[in-house]
Amino acid sequence: MKLITNCERCHSEIKIPSFFNDTRIDLAKSKGETFKKECTKCAHINNIHVDDVIAVKTNIIIITAISTSILSIILTILLWDYGYISLITISIPFTLTASAKKYEKNKILQFNMLFYNSRRNKTNKTLFK
């Protein structure tokens, strides 16, 4: 999961570091209700409210799934003579990938559904269209 918002001036995507920020409340605790972040394209310093940040999907899970699948294929080739071990080595990466995708999807939904200041969000329009 990565956290993003838009620049007020050029509307380009600004990435927000999200280490251990699973909800907007966690983000507000670590950075404050409003914080400043510089745009990498136009160098404008944006005042960002926690409710203007959204969570989106990353490609880390897909990359991890591909690498674990390659590793499982190698293990399957090495353990083929043992029978059922090859089935286990093939099924483990698929199970881990499916559970990691579901976990990330739930984290994104949780972050995007819960707002820090619900009254503010009803009066202000979001930057994303």
Q: How far apart are CA 22 and CA 1, in angstroms?
A: 9
> pLDDT tens for residues 89-114?
777 888 888 888 898 899 888 888 87
For residue 122, the model assigns a pLDDT of: 45
Collect all residues with Cβ–Cβ distance below 8 Å to 1 and sequence separation of at least 6: 18, 55, 56, 57, 58, 104, 107, 108, 111
- Report helix, strand or coil for 64: helix
Give pLDDT, residue 110: 87
Does this model's pTM top 0.85? My answer is no
User: What's the pLDDT score for residue 127?
Assistant: 47
Residue showing tokens 């926690």: 50
Residue segments in the chain with a per-residue pLDDT below the cut of 50: 122-127, 129
Confidence (pLDDT) at 120:
58
Could you tell me the residue ranges of all domains in the chain?
2-56, 60-106
